[in-house]
A = this chain, B = another copy of it.
Amino acid sequence: MESFEFLVPTKIIFGKDSESRVGAEIAARGYKKVLLHYGGTSAVKSGLIGKVRQSLKDAGISFVELSGVLPNPRVSLVREGISLCDHENIDMILAVGGGSVIDSAKAIGMGYYYDGDVWDLYSGAAVAEKTLPVAVILTIPAAGSESSPSSVITNHRLTLKKGCTNEITRPIFAILNPELTYTLPAYQTACGAADIMAHIMERYFTNTPDVCFTDRLCEAGLKTIIEMAPIAIAEPENLNARSNIMWCSSVAHNDLFGTGRSQDWGSHAIEHELSAIYDIAHGAGLAIVFPAWMRYVYKHDLDRFARFGKCVFGIEPDSNDPEATALKAIDALEAFFKSIGLPTRLSEAGIDESRIDEMAEKCTVNDTRNVGGFVPLKTTDVAAIYRLAL
């Protein structure tokens, strides 16, 4: 194991009707004026936003609203949010939604105190030292942003999608009511499952030896999603499945599973280039990229892929032919993604090879950085992975 520090300051409030406590939780922390940040009309139509407004009013919290967050959230709306917080003297941000809304809220929070354009915090030109606090009512279990220090923002003008990891952006509390996820369509549930699994696999494929505790935690998370996602898709109001998925999605990305081990994150970087250009769902992009990434890198550590096959998919390892076991494991992952209705090839998402070289160059910033910690990838490697995924 490697040295590490670990602290998740986000209070998790999990259970039925927990969203009705939001006003009281904010008032207890002494905040007075909130930016209520959310996406489209579904949260309004479902009655959730109305319930949140009422809870805030009941607690004597004033608020202004900024809706319109889209999947792959835009820096343009973030800039609007920063201005709004400034003019309205906002002292905290309440994100009601999934990862896109939370990430947008995190960017607004950091941008509020940053003396410059907020995109600097995502391009890598600057690091935020202070943020408005962000709290969350989660409606989509996927990104894990509700207790993670990460956010991802898209700059459409530059066709760039960039992530920022900064411990100050972990939310102060996150309300998780699994019943709020009953209305998620099957496809979005499946995309969430792929995203959760990807967060675990980015940590699972490590070069750090002797990490059996976190290996097993990762396997526990992966098996939970593999068991529960098909149930949630078949029975959208299955509380058991929705609950286990929702709690697993948070733990999967709060970095407990990554403590003391090197991590990869190559597939995420490769996927970000896809969704920056083609605007496909992040989870669908990951379901396409991850099997291809695995087929490109598996020879680096056959034993790890064999363990993945055995401990996650129950594939009995063939000690005479570890390569066959590894390939079976990758096939099993791809088959699982297919079984829950996700694309696993670029062609299925309507993406051809025309922009592969451009994406690969952007991903490695023209070979000025390696992509991935498990196997460091150069532009030619990334392009080969896109081609394997065609």
A interface residue numbers (CB < 8 A to B) = 1-16, 18, 178, 209-214, 216-217, 219-221, 223-224, 227-228, 239-240, 243-244, 247-248, 251, 256, 259-260
User: Is the CB–CB distance between B11 and A244 below 8 Å?
Assistant: no
Closest B residue to A210 using CB positions: B240
Cα(A4)–Cα(B9), bound, Å? 16
Residues of B within 8 A of A239 (CB): 1, 210
Name the 9 nearest CB pairs between A and B, nearest first: A3-B15, A216-B220, A210-B240, A1-B243, A7-B11, A6-B12, A213-B224, A213-B244, A213-B248
Q: Which residues of B contact A228 (CB under 8 A)?
A: 212-213
**15 sampled A-B residue pairs with Cβ under 8 A:** A1-B14, A1-B247, A5-B12, A6-B12, A210-B239, A212-B240, A212-B244, A213-B221, A213-B247, A213-B248, A213-B251, A214-B247, A216-B224, A219-B220, A247-B260
Complex Cα distance A7/B256, Å?
A: 13
Shortest distance from the beta carbon of A171 to any chain B beta carbon, whole Å: 12
Give Cα A384–Cα B313 distance, bound, in whole angstroms. Answer: 43
Query: What residues of chain B lie closer than 8 Å to A211, measured between beta carbons?
Result: 244
Q: How far is the CB of A234 from chain B (nearest CB, A)?
A: 16
Contacts A2-B15, A6-B12, A220-B220 given; does A227 touch B247 at CB 8 Å: no
